[in-house]
Amino acid sequence: MFLNESAIKTAPPISWKTAKVVPVYKGKGDTLDPENYRSIAITPPLPKVFMAVMNNRLTKAAEEQDLHAPTQAGFRKHHSTLEQAFILQTVISHSLKCKRALGMAFIDL
């Protein structure tokens, strides 16, 4: 009940939007060199559970109501981006073969 109401009626608590960023040594190179570290964000567990539940519900609703574009394959169960990659490769190859300029834009919504 809390998760349902908070998703609809209120903004998430500020504490849910914060993370503690911790450097983790990659295991090679000089430990004094910052380039040899990667960062991880440690977030509270409740927001993770909340987001997982919401993601499952939204994904299920989108599938049931057929809200995805026919060409949408990324991040969907039982779909592959292989066809999109093949089409992209074909377009690039054709452009090179015809010696034509090719402009592309990749949009992440």
Domain residue limits, the chain: 2-67, 71-109
Residue 84's SS3 state is helix
Q: What is the pLDDT of residues 37-78, one digit of tens each?
A: 999 999 888 888 888 888 898 889 988 998 888 888 877 888
Q: What is the pTM of this model?
A: 0.54
Judge whether residue 109 has pLDDT over 70. no
- What does the alpha-carbon distance between residue 19 and residue 42 come to, in Å, rounded to a whole number? 5
Q: What is the pLDDT of residues 97-106, one digit of tens each?
A: 999 999 988 8
Average pLDDT, stretch 88-97? 95
pLDDT category at 4 given cuts 50, 70, 90 is: low
Mean pLDDT for all residues in the chain? 86
* Strand 37-42, strand 20-25: pairing: antiparallel
Residues contacting 92, CB < 8 A, separation 6+: 102
Evaluate whether 40 touches 58 at the Cβ level (below 8 Å).
Answer: no
